Structure 1
Amino acid sequence: MKGAELARRRKFDYEILRDMRCPSFDFEAYRTGGDLERRANRVTDAQAGSAGRYRLKLRIPTLIGPGKWAQETIIGVNVDVADYPRAEPATWVISHPVPWSPHFRAGSPVCIGEEFWQAREGHVTLGHLVVHIARMLNWDEKGRGGGYVGWNAKAIEYHQTHYGGRPLDSALVYPVLPSWLYGEPDDDQPFEIITHQRPR
């Protein structure tokens, strides 16, 4: 994607995130990494086509250690990657401490899974990414399958022992994709990760 087409895609992503703002989600958009770090020159609605970096704020209570909690997590997103949106955006955790989970590690990308973005070859949006990360923070992710340990086997063991594989908060209200994206009310998320078995 180049030029005007990329600007349209960036505007589309921005508008989805804008219409997803809710008690559990908010965001800021910037043109450059420097602007994001300084939180300066925030992109406005009228400049949405120039948004290249995002600061996603997820107010999802999550574990940061055995029995220890953070009430929100800040995630950085960079869509200025080669072949976006076919290639997944760069992601990292801005807030500290980092969530205690197999999907998050200081100084590393968020482990969103190949089956989430790459397998969809660009037919996925930043709005879907927000919902996916929210589910990961609540230990309510679908699709990785048994045996996955990611970056933190101890966290998985703790979660299994204390929550029996259930979400941290089964009543949590997630951010919702805007109804206009599908042309109908979005009471139930139509986007679900399906695990595919690869032939051996």
Structure 2
Amino acid sequence: MPVAAQQAMLEPSAALACLTPADVSGMAPEYPFLAYKQGDKGRVQVQLTFTGPGEPPAMTVLAQEGDDTFVEAVRTHVRRLRVPCHDGGKTPVKLLYDFVFRPDARQVQWLRPTDAADQGRLEQLACLVHVSGGKAPEYPTEAARAAFQRRVLARLRFEASDRAPVVEILSQRDAINQGLAVSRLTRLLTDQVADWAAGYRLPCLS
């Protein structure tokens, strides 16, 4: 019996991982007052370019729905953002944001930002294959009989296109770091995932 579900995803880029609001009290743009009162909706997609750890980003509007008050609301909001892990070198960090203003929801929604540099990593993820040709590991028999379930999170680092990745089981690591005992059935699941993950290859890795 295969595991119930499996999902491969990219870890956030270093820039996204350290992205910080300069003012933690403001996590969303303010809805333009007149637009909200009139029931106007809007959407603003932007690229933010960071050139250093302490500087506000330069904002480029990629797409816009609604009037310029939505753009200005976004511009005011993103001035607070910083990428403190930026090394201050010549290569800028470019992050993509999509803000949606919905008067019926009485809030501003935004999709998870993406790093423009991640496109290459996404293309690599699409070529991920398993040497067995299978799609998921088998459920350990003893764990299945006991109806034992756990979510197992693993990190894979590929260093060559034709070699097994370095595999780290994050859920087990976190439990050990917290001084928690890891049950035998849990180890059956994590060992199975680790063995399976070692069979992945990334042939398009350059």
TM interval, shorter chain, is under 0.3
Larger Rg: 2
Q: Which has the higher strand share?
A: 2
Which protein, 1 or 2, shows the higher relative CO under an 8 Å CA cutoff with sep ≥ 6? 2
TM-score by length of 1: 0.25
